[in-house]
Amino acid sequence: MNTTTFDLPRRHALQRRDALDWVFAALVLLGGAYAFSRYHASMNGYEQGILLCAMPALVALGWFWRPLRLLTVAAGGATLLAIALYAQHTDDFGADLAAGEKVFWLKYLLSSQSAILWMSLCFYLSTLFYWGGFFTGAGRNSMAETVGSKLAWGGVFMALVGTLVRWYESHQIGPDIGHIPVSNLYEVFVLFCWLTTLFHLYYEERFATRSLGAFVMLVVSGAVSFLLWYTVAREAQEIQPLVPALQSWWMKIHVPANFVGYGSFSLAAMVALAYLLKTATTRHLAIGLVAMPLGIVAVILAVRFGATLDDATITGLNGWAGKIAGVAAFMTLAIVLRTHVTRRLPELVQLDDLMYKAIALGFAFFTIATILGAFWAAEAWGGYWSWDPKETWALIVWLNYAAWLHMRLMKGLRGTVAAWWALVGLLVTTFAFLGVNMFLSGLHSYGTL
């Protein structure tokens, strides 16, 4: 009797799987086997290894968090449908990508650009519904927030379909053109949007509250706005061949790991904003949340009018001044409406814990990405570290969050100071990601603004 009671909690993990778990695992393994049999000739040994490792990793993730099972199967099915539609129209090399403008389902839903536009719409609507939840009904999870959550899932789904179809489309252009779509600003902003949203959806379920979606989806909507602007201004949706330095298998693991870090840091900053709105006095909020972005606008305008700059840089500075002024206006509105905004938020202890978990996860992946980047640099340029502006600012980001975690674990950092630090950390991270491309040049200047 005692032995049986003792052994029950120790049941093997595989014995706890239900039929749907095994069906999901079978589908992932069959899909991976199909991809391997169909495309192994165009893969080198590293890429084949990545595919073989990705299959059990995806199964494990689906078992760990079950909503990923439906997301994975649905995105895979939609991608296969898009490939089948493209395959019905061929040219001298492969699928005729002009079918994306002729075939109804490709033109309006499943081509990479159409899917990414649907992603953008879903994320915008999700943000609006999440914010609408603050002003409707009682309780923590209103109908509006539920709709916002569903739309967020829809946005992630369309982003994955767009990414996977774009990957296929790149291989249909010509020999040695095809590549995983994480090589320029357009592609990595799509990656950032769906990764950040997916992290939020996980924590939303884990902490059983949808009220933080309004804050997290703000940064996602901001990224979507940049993505749409960048698409119009630079025709960034066009698939381009990789520059020589990016023709490396390191890119396939370095960039995604980096954006797990960026997404987690962004989530932590938005949780920090919610924390500050819930705790700080109106005067402190006005000084910090409004004066800080206005100060940044003043610095940008000083550079804009005080230095000799080319027209492209002036246009970029004008755009950033307007965007950050918009942030200040939004912060002002949030402070005015803080009673409505904060009444649904989780308890402060829960917010603090979520902020810590997000930064810890982001720091772990950012560390891995930095190490992988060093190996990639050694292969591409012959040295692990060259104090390139991007590398220098990546180190600054790493040191910032390393110090935050050190103060948290060793000195018990909590509360308002930790929240302000996490919020400012997002500014540092944003400059490392975008500001370096805009104001500085170096070995990493692939996606200029």
Residue 257 CB neighbours (<10 A): 18
Give me the pLDDT at residue 175, please: 76
Distance, CA of 42 to chain centre: 28
Beta partners for 90? Answer: 95
Written as one string, the DSSP assignment of 228-292 is HHHHHHH-TTS--PPPGGG-STHHHHHHHHHHHHHHHHHHHHHHHHHHHHHHS-HHHHIIIIIHH
Give me the pLDDT at residue 6, please: 44
DSSP helix/strand/coil, 414: coil
Give me the pLDDT at residue 446, please: 53
Distance separating alpha carbons of residues 14 and 286, to the nearest angstrom: 54
Distance separating alpha carbons of residues 78 and 435, to the nearest angstrom: 36
Give me the pLDDT at residue 444, please: 57
**Whole-prediction pTM:** 0.89
Put residue 137 in one of left, alpha, beta given phi > 0 → left and psi -120 to 50 → alpha.
left
CB–CB of 101/86 below 8 Å?
A: no
CB–CB of 445/388 below 8 Å?
A: no
DSSP helix/strand/coil, 212: coil
CB–CB of 263/366 below 8 Å?
A: no
Give me the pLDDT at residue 176, please: 79
DSSP helix/strand/coil, 304: helix
Written as one string, the DSSP assignment of 48-107 is HHHHHHHHHHHHHHHHHSTHHHHHHHHHHHHHHHHHHHHHTSB-SSSB-GGGGGTSHHII
Closest CA to 435 of 377, 390, 375: 390
| Amino acid present at 47 | E
Written as six digits, the tokens of 3 are 């032995």
Q: pLDDT (tens digit, 0 to 9) for every residue of the chain, 449 residues total?
A: 454 444 444 455 666 788 899 999 999 999 999 888 887 777 777 778 888 988 999 999 999 999 999 999 999 999 999 999 998 988 777 888 888 899 999 999 999 999 999 999 999 999 999 988 877 755 566 888 999 999 999 999 999 999 999 999 998 888 778 888 998 889 999 999 999 999 999 999 998 888 899 999 999 999 999 899 888 878 888 988 888 778 888 888 899 999 999 999 999 999 999 998 888 665 566 667 777 778 878 887 887 787 777 776 777 777 777 778 877 787 777 777 776 777 778 889 999 999 999 999 999 999 999 999 999 888 877 888 888 888 899 999 999 999 999 999 999 999 889 999 999 999 899 988 887 776 666 555 555 55
Distance separating alpha carbons of residues 258 and 46, to the nearest angstrom: 19
Distance separating alpha carbons of residues 96 and 89, to the nearest angstrom: 5
With b for 16 or more beta-carbon neighbours within 10 A and e for fewer, the 288-324 pattern comes to bbbebbbebbeebeeebeeeeeeeebeebbebbbebb
Q: Is 142 exposed, middle or buried (0-12, 13-18, 19+ CB in 10 A)?
A: buried
Closest CA to 168 of 249, 78, 105, 53: 78
* Tokens 């797990």 sit on residue: 260
CB–CB of 355/272 below 8 Å?
A: yes
DSSP helix/strand/coil, 8: helix
CA distances from 279 to 154, 250, 264, 331, 342 (A): 33, 44, 22, 15, 9
